[in-house]
Structure 1
Amino acid sequence: MAGAAVALTMVAVTGAPAMADTTRDRQWYLGDLKVAEAHKITKGAGVTVALIDTGVDPDHPDLADALLPGLNTVESDLSGTKGTEDVDGHGTAMAGIVAGRGHGSGAGVLGIAPAAKILPIATGGSGFKPSSYIAKAVDFAIQRHVGVINMSFGGADDETVHAAIRKAQAADIVLVAAAGNDDAIGNSAGQYPGRYLEVLAVGAYGKDRKIASISIVGPHVDLAAPGGQIMSTAKGGGYEVSGGTSDATAIVSGAAALVRAKFPGLSAAEVVHRLTATADDAGPAGRDDAYGYGLLNVVKALTADVAPLPSGGVASAVPTQAAPPVGAESDGLPKPVGVLVPALIGGGLVLLGGVAAAVFWVRRRSG
């Protein structure tokens, strides 16, 4: 059984100076999320986001000073690799969304948390790979004491991956994963690890603030974020427009970094509680299977008066500003979020012989 990458329309904008000057204008989601206002409060300094992906291009001008020495789990000798050997371009795009610095005077891609650091952890390109690669990636993130783990990929249930996620949860890491993409031919890729209770699962909405047709819906969805026509950094120094729950996940990871920077005393569960409690309700009143608790509201997440979680760590208290209990499923049962765990998002994991998993990056490239 061969792994297949999630189909995307990709518009690659490679390196033209004139394009670089208009790139920021095409980041419509910065205005939608009032990111300029949020950046008056914090830009995420002091927080590290682990990016489990295809690697990150270290030479992109918009990622200068953003990358820490990472890891390539594919190499047999892990000691000398840094996770900066991007084999696909997906990881470079996610890095720009999370923590792009731009360049010059207002040119290039600006990330949601442009003062945060990225810990790049490469697990190869899309397709089958041992789930041990993912477990090594999560373990490395735990060892480096990251605040957030972004997993813009996904697939089938995998106990090796789930066990690693539980370890990350115990380490008080905010775990963010894609809800998954539903492609044009009906393949629903990427529901795990987003379906794990320990993970914040993110759906995608477009410029019209409606849930994207590609975004998988269900009781596992916790939050929705921009995921259509997303401009970001491309491997090789250029730019590209893409869309999908991968992109939306990276945006929420950036928002989580901002919250951790503004409120360093909050636990991972409390960070997620703040993100969901301050979301703008959309769709049917209250939590629903398309938008989860609603549309991400970065400024409210940084400023609202939110009731704390109960001492048990289970999100069952109704916060001051709207939103039902964090993580509650549609059947009314609470979803434990004592400490969040990294979710793999962007594609699909399919367990193969108990050893290999097909990973699908949940993103559409436009080109």
Structure 2
Amino acid sequence: MIPILAISLLTTAGHASSASDGSERVRSDQWHLNYLKATEAHRITQGEGVTVAIPDTGVDPHPDLRENLLRGTDIISGIDDGRADKSGHGTSMAGLVAAHGRGANLGALGIAPKASILPIRAKMDNKGGDIEYLADSIEWAIANGADVISVSAVSGTNTRLETSLRTAQQSNIIVVAAAGNRPDDSFVGYPASEPGVVAVGGIDREGNHATVSVTGPEIDVVAPAVDLYSTSYQGKYSKGTGTSGATAIVAGAVALIRAKYPSLPAREVVHRLTYTAVDKGPPGRDDQYGYGVIDLVAALTADVPPSWSALPTADASAGRGPTSTAAGPVADGRGAGSDGSTVRGLVTLGVLVVGGGAWAYVVRRRRRGDDPPPRISR
């Protein structure tokens, strides 16, 4: 199991919030927060009540993260609770998901700063791991209350790992996984390539495809993957590049959606994420950007029709039909950069007859400047 984020440490400071420990500048270095309009999203929700499992190198109780850190497990030794990290990779991923900082713009901030982190040590010192360890981790996360599982690694696969991932999906848990990094990877790796797993690619500071990110038909969404500042072990900070970090950011986005819509099934959470993504490249889904760049605000506020899988079948009870996760008008398209990118431009129209009544719905991706998507109507 290969971790896919190149990390460099930024400071050797301890835990004090002083001008010498880097906490005063790391927030301003977290360019992805402004890019994704995290402050605006945090006025809506900060991920309260959602648990994100991180099978990685463990998670150190960094001062910017410790309030959100649950007791986890050490799959490798069986004697720890996952709250130790000798390499920094797991702690960096946890910080991108849910670091809470130290107030007054000090310290690192995650996408979902009030979500809980369930640490699982499943890799040895950032030098790779074992397929069985990852399968163990997925099974443990399922049994211990995870709502989201964030896998910032690629691995091989076997029947047990495949089964554990499918069990997670059947258990209403969303699994998010990194697509892989060039030059080590040339195609979307596993578990990102498993159907139902959210496969994450990366973009750079300009919102364009990050050269480090692999491409492929499995890519679902993309997120910032370059120069990502986060927490590290022993109170330090890190700067990293790779689809590992993009995956942690998407896991944080999923946590926000789950907090805002706690009764929404996992499949519909993913649909909301992809439906509101900002289109890049050729119109429609493509192998570089998938459905587009995640849009935190739109994912929390858009009036999103149900996915095909959520539509009622012909034998559904009369008078019942698909439910919308309407939350008011869609926020204006922020775009994925300054290049005039658009949100999905495809239009799908359909009418479904259910129990003697007609349900008309419109699935329509918004472009920059479009009116909000139409509401589902009876």
Q: Who is 1:225 aligned against?
A: 223
Cα pair distance change 1:233/1:250, threshold 3 Å: same
Matched, 1:168 2:168: yes
SS of structure 1 residue aligned to 2:169? helix
Q: Who is 1:200 aligned against?
A: 198
SS of structure 2 residue aligned to 1:65? helix
* Counterpart AA for 2:155: G
Q: Who is 1:28 aligned against?
A: 31
The separation in 1 between residues aligned to 2:254 and 2:129, in whole angstroms, is 28
Cα pair distance change 1:305/1:198, threshold 3 Å: same
Judge conservation of contact 1:229–1:241 (CA < 8 Å) in 2: yes
Cα pair distance change 1:312/1:55, threshold 3 Å: same
Instruction: Give deviations 1:116-171, integer Å, cap 9, x for gaps.
Output: 00000001224454322112111111112211000000123333211110111110
Cα pair distance change 1:267/1:87, threshold 3 Å: same
Aligned residue among 55, 64, 71 for 2:58 = 55
Instruction: Give deviations 1:266-311, integer Å, cap 9, x for gaps.
Output: 1111000000000000011100000000011000000001111234
Judge conservation of contact 1:56–1:92 (CA < 8 Å) in 2: yes
SS of structure 1 residue aligned to 2:239? strand
SS of structure 1 residue aligned to 2:299? helix
Aligned-pair CA distance for 1:236? 1.0
Q: Who is 2:298 aligned against?
A: 300
Cα pair distance change 1:263/1:119, threshold 3 Å: same
For residues 1-367 of structure 1, the aligned pairs below 5 Å read 8=6, 10-15=8-13, 17-18=18-19, 19-58=22-61, 60-75=62-77, 78=78, 80-125=79-124, 126-127=126-127, 129-183=129-183, 187-188=185-186, 191-311=189-309, 323=344
The separation in 1 between residues aligned to 2:260 and 2:244, in whole angstroms, is 25
Cα pair distance change 1:301/1:104, threshold 3 Å: closer
Which deviates the most, 13-22 or 106-115? 13-22
SS of structure 2 residue aligned to 1:120? strand
Cα pair distance change 1:140/1:7, threshold 3 Å: closer
* Counterpart AA for 2:292: G
Instruction: Give deviations 1:199-246, integer Å, cap 9, x for gaps.
Output: 000001111101100100000100010110000001110111111100
Aligned-pair CA distance for 1:182? 0.9
Judge conservation of contact 2:188–2:215 (CA < 8 Å) in 1: no
Instruction: Give deviations 1:318-346, integer Å, cap 9, x for gaps.
Output: x9986489xxxxxxxxxxxxxxxxxxxxx
Judge conservation of contact 1:155–1:190 (CA < 8 Å) in 2: no
The separation in 2 between residues aligned to 1:324 and 1:171, in whole angstroms, is 33
Instruction: Give deviations 1:69-108, integer Å, cap 9, x for gaps.
Output: 1010001xx3x42111213210000010000010142100
* Counterpart AA for 2:118: L
* Counterpart AA for 2:167: K
Q: Who is 1:332 aligned against?
A: none
| TM-score normalised by the chain length of structure 1 | 0.80
Where relative contact order (Cα < 8 A, 6+ residues apart) is larger, the structure is: 1
SS of structure 2 residue aligned to 1:202? strand
* Percentage of matched positions with identical amino acids: 44
Judge conservation of contact 1:222–1:293 (CA < 8 Å) in 2: yes
The separation in 1 between residues aligned to 2:2 and 2:173, in whole angstroms, is 30
Extract unaligned runs of 5+ from structure 2: 313-324, 331-342, 347-378
Cα pair distance change 1:98/1:28, threshold 3 Å: same
SS of structure 2 residue aligned to 1:10? strand
Extract unaligned runs of 5+ from structure 1: 326-367
The separation in 1 between residues aligned to 2:88 and 2:186, in whole angstroms, is 22
SS of structure 2 residue aligned to 1:118? strand
Cα pair distance change 1:312/1:20, threshold 3 Å: closer
CA RMSD of aligned residues (A): 2.3
SS of structure 2 residue aligned to 1:162? helix
* Counterpart AA for 2:98: A
| TM-score normalised by the chain length of structure 2 | 0.78
Judge conservation of contact 1:228–1:242 (CA < 8 Å) in 2: yes
